[in-house]
Chain A
Amino acid sequence: MFDTLTLAALPPEDEALRPQIRAFIASHVAGLPADRRARSWQGFDAAFSRALGQAGFLGLTLPKAYGGQERGPFARFVVVEELLSAGAPVAAHWIADRQSAPLILGYGTDEQRRSYIPRICRGEALFCIGMSEPGSGSDLASVRTRAERTDKGWRVNGQKIWTTNAMHSDYMIALVRTSGTPEDRHAGLSQLIIDLKAPGVSVRPIVDLTGDAHFAEVFFDNVELSADALIGREGEGWKQVTAELAFERSGPERIYSSVVLLDAWIRHVQAVGRGDAGVLTGRFMAEIATLRAMSIACTARLALGESPVVEASIVKDRGTTFEQDLPVAIGDDLAAHPDEPVSDELYRTLLYVTHIAPSFSLRGGTREILRGIIARGMGLR
């Protein structure tokens, strides 16, 4: 079973990107303290994202014809690995680069591709994902936000929630009902590109338990959209959103959320010269190395043009488990040495990651849902 997840190497031409992206990161984020860098996915810096785009580090998987670099998933792996292990603030371009642009490339008209993708590659068009609603979390097919046809296009009413970066974004790709009722489940759903500056859209940020506001509620009150807001085909929204989730879930980024904390802790242990942290450190190294190998194996399937949803779920579930174990074990190690001073920076990083860690196995599909996908891949359902 799962014989396709086998050791793969990063091609040398993609490895060659590493010194360049490293130098770029060093010149942009070197001064940030660890507790800022630990936010990485949630660190919003539009100027940084635009600079990345100008330097050619966005759109690595996208065709040159639309402003991309046409290099493929391995190149993206190298760049993303460097960004995340340094804790660079990637939130501004993250969603557009990872899934909105590939979705538009796959299902959009040529006009839509030309309109959005080059701007995404420059880090200038920011996107958010409008899937979840108050009554629709894991059961995504039950969405109630509706779009009706009008003379000029579409009229949208309803509400999304937990929408990452809605308050900073230019567009939302929303999953909405265009016919039938929630009882019709997968039939009658469509995806619309909603200009968040359109009249009738209101965005209310939601503050999380760490004090950050990275996600939001978004309300649609008779929002009028032109006909070209529809992406792909009417009624095909479920199929498209499944493909979009495959982009979201197949990335290498599901293993590095706590790595800034890991390195801050290792620097602490090295500085105090303590000899009893070796076994724990070794466990972390064995786990992270194994996960990296799994993640590259998954990337290799992407590079072959596959959509490795089951394999990616394996990497994500195991990766987020590791990401969540890290702050627990590090907290125990530090507090098992109560007479050893811990810097504010390390302490804040530890508590930030500890508090935000539950989200690692919620965003992009919960642990239980992913294990269900794996079980289906095993022929159990």
Chain B
Amino acid sequence: MDAHALLEPFDRMLAAISAPAAVRAVEAGGDASAMLSELAQSGFLDALVPEEAGGAGLSLAGIAPLIEAIGAHAVPLPVAETMVARALLARAGVASRDGPIALATAGVPGQIVPCGLVAAHVLIDLGDRLVLASADALAVTPTGVHHALAARIGWEGTPVGRDITRPPAGLRALAAIVRATLIAGAAHRLLEVTTRHANERVQFGKPIGRQQALQQNLAVMAENAVAARIAAQLGCAQGLDVSLAAAAVAKSTASSVAARLAGTAHAVHGAIGISEEFDLQLLTRRLHEWRLADGSEGYWNGVLGAARLADPAGSVDWIRAEVFA
């Protein structure tokens, strides 16, 4: 199946079920079950599951545009995470579970997990194996951040659940690529709405986008959005068996531009962008949360740099072999 043919219906569905009002409702503690059943019925949650196991058999690169769309629509459920988790379950021959699955990639209790408040299950990386635990069997605590769906996920001793084989590079690497792709999607949407605002908002008798200072900042914003997307694509190109280096490039780049993109978007919008009833914050809050999730740019730079310094090759040769191979 061609993922590009799927993008249009998927995007249309997300626009219908995850309109800003719906996102706000879930963030305010509302019920997400209608949104969830729509997603489940659509079949998209099994996009990465092999065809023999009843899925669509698409590759991670193939569904990257769908993950971007999830980011762009600020969907208040861990949809991309669930897609990845269901693929890992299918691989391990484990029957899939209903409901959204969040990814806990740190292995320690008390970690902050995006969409933890709305997950039915959490796939936890314990270092030697993954455990799929029911949210009911875990301590799920709100972080106290206004409207955030992230939660602290905790357990006593070891978490109880179904063991699953751990991918060689770990769950964090895979989650980082998914996160980078979500960032890329949100970034491009942010770029569109910010550019539109600059062309519509009039001050000093002309659209503020006619001011050269703003044009220059928006041009850099475009560069950052393009960089996030292509770095995420580098990560997705490797499929589910990601390499640490490709994950690091993807997440380091996406994380480091995420905060800058959010900053420029708010600067261009002025005060209205800060207001709760304006939709901008639905995207910018997520950009900041995703930047910190599954390792920030500093974390991944450390991973990448240690690998690079252990190799005598030249830098361009090294990235060709480790990131582009």
Q: Is A209 close to B, CB under 8 A?
A: no
A270–B310 Cα distance when bound, in Å, is: 8
User: Do A263 and B308 form a contact, CB below 8 Å, given A283-B301, A375-B218, A378-B218?
Assistant: no
Cβ of B323 < 8 Å from any Cβ of A? yes
Q: Which residue of chain B is the closest to A18 with respect to CB atoms?
A: B320
Q: Mark B188-204, 1 if CB is under 8 A from A, else 0.
A: 10011001001100000
Nearest-CB residue, chain B, relative to A262: B315
Chain B residue numbers with a CB within 8 Å of A294 are 226-227, 230
- Please give, as numbers and ranges, the residues of chain B lying within 8 Å of A269 by CB-CB distance: 309
Name the residue in B209, B215, B298, B302 with the highest tally of chain A Cβ atoms < 10 Å from its Cβ: B215
Size range of the interface on B? 35 or more
8 Å CB contact of A293 from B198, B216, B225, B233: B233
Q: Please, which residues of chain A bring their CB within 8 A of the CB of B198?
A: 380
Contact A290 B216, CB 8 Å, known A266-B309, A314-B222 = no
Q: Cβ of B210 < 8 Å from any Cβ of A?
A: yes
Which residues, 94 to 125 on B, are CB-close (under 8 Å) to A? none
Closest residue of A by beta carbon distance from B188: A1
Enumerate chain A residues within 8 angstroms of B318, measured Cβ to Cβ.
Answer: 285
Q: Does A85 lie at the interface of the complex (its beta carbon under 8 Å from any beta carbon of B)?
A: yes
- Asked if A7 contacts B215 (CB within 8 A), the reply is no
Q: Which of B188, B222, B249 contacts A286 (CB 8 A)?
A: B249
Name the prevailing secondary structure of the B interface residues.
Answer: helix
- Report yes or no: A381 in contact with B210, Cβ–Cβ below 8 A: yes
Partner of B219, one of A279, A286, A378, A379: A378
CB within 8 A of A289: which of B249, B298, B302, B312?
B249
A74 within 8 A of B: no
By the criterion CB–CB under 8 Å, are A281 and B191 in contact? no
The answer to whether A256 and B316 have CB atoms under 8 Å apart is yes
CB-CB under 8 A from B227, the residues of chain A are 290-291, 294, 318
The residue on A at minimum CB distance from B236 is A7
Give the contacting residue for B309; candidates A6, A270, A288; CB below 8 A: A270
Is there an interface contact between B210 and A263, defined as CB atoms closer than 8 Å? no
Inter-chain CA distance A81–B315, complex, in Å, is 12
Q: Are A292 and B188 in contact (CB under 8 A)?
A: no
Which residues of chain A from 236 to 288 have a CB within 8 Å of any chain B CB? 256, 259, 262-263, 266, 269-270, 277-288
Give the docked Cα–Cα distance between A287 and B250 (Å): 10
Told that A282-B252, A292-B319, A372-B219 touch, could you supply 9 new A-B pairs with CB distance under 8 A?
A: A2-B226, A281-B308, A282-B301, A286-B231, A286-B249, A314-B219, A318-B223, A371-B220, A372-B216
| Residues of A bordering B, CB below 8 Å | 1-2, 5-7, 81, 85, 256, 259, 262-263, 266, 269-270, 277-294, 297, 314, 317-318, 368, 370-372, 374-375, 378-381
* 9 cross-chain CB contacts under 8 A: A5-B226, A5-B230, A278-B305, A282-B302, A283-B252, A284-B305, A285-B308, A289-B324, A375-B209
Q: Give the 5 A-B CB pairs with smallest separation, nearest first.
A: A282-B305, A282-B301, A281-B305, A282-B304, A278-B305
